[in-house]
Amino acid sequence: MTRLLIIGPPGSGKGTQAVHLARHFGIPAVSTGDIFRSNVSRATELGTQAAQYLDGGDLVPDHLTNALVRDRLLENDVRRGFLLDGYPRTAVQAVELDNMLAASGLALNAVIELRAPDTELEQRMRKRAREQGRTDDTVDVFRRRLDLYRRETHEVVSVYAARGILVPVDGSGDPGEITAQAIAAVEKFLAAARA
């Protein structure tokens, strides 16, 4: 069972890489965005609560995000492993994820950290805004998200680095090359952990 997490700043290509890595390792990609959208569209109790925040452009609070992820990790398709994308994004969520997994005697195998210079991240955001017409991809919004990442999510990176399960990957350049580098780095790390 392979249990992975992919993390990185906005514009680092987490979503794209999560799909490719999950396919390679034969596990589902579990994205908080997908979890939110699924629960909102099905009008679940948690989805209705989450919609109140999402509709206002606010972050879904930790307690609600934790509950939604906990429900998702109880579904059958993740029993053989998963790749988390977008969770945990705070230290509080990282502790809760530990508790969720420990309840089943599990833990994360590796955490992939995509790294890229701010200038490249901003260029990608601008390109995505042009190509996809995303109104939330403005320079100001991007810089706020990057600041939020540095203030909250980077603390999560430090937690996993201290545990020795962080696998840094250069997130610059061609997406296909990034995927190949990430797969090689994770396979090497997992093989060493098993040895």
Residue 169 vs residues 16, 17, 56: alpha-carbon distances, Å: 14, 11, 34
Single out the catalytic residue among 79, 115, 134, 188: 134
Q: Is 163 among the catalytic positions?
A: no
Q: Are 4 and 109 in contact (CB under 8 A)?
A: yes
Rounded CA separation 146/105 (Å): 34
Single out the catalytic residue among 3, 14, 72, 124: 14
Q: Is 127 among the catalytic positions?
A: no
Single out the catalytic residue among 3, 72, 89, 124: 89
Rounded CA separation 147/125 (Å): 15
Single out the catalytic residue among 37, 70, 126, 128: 126
Single out the catalytic residue among 3, 72, 124, 145: 145
Q: Is 89 among the catalytic positions?
A: yes
Q: Is 145 among the catalytic positions?
A: yes
The neighbour count for residue 84, using CB atoms within 10 Å, is 24
**Catalytic site residues?**
14, 89, 126, 134, 145
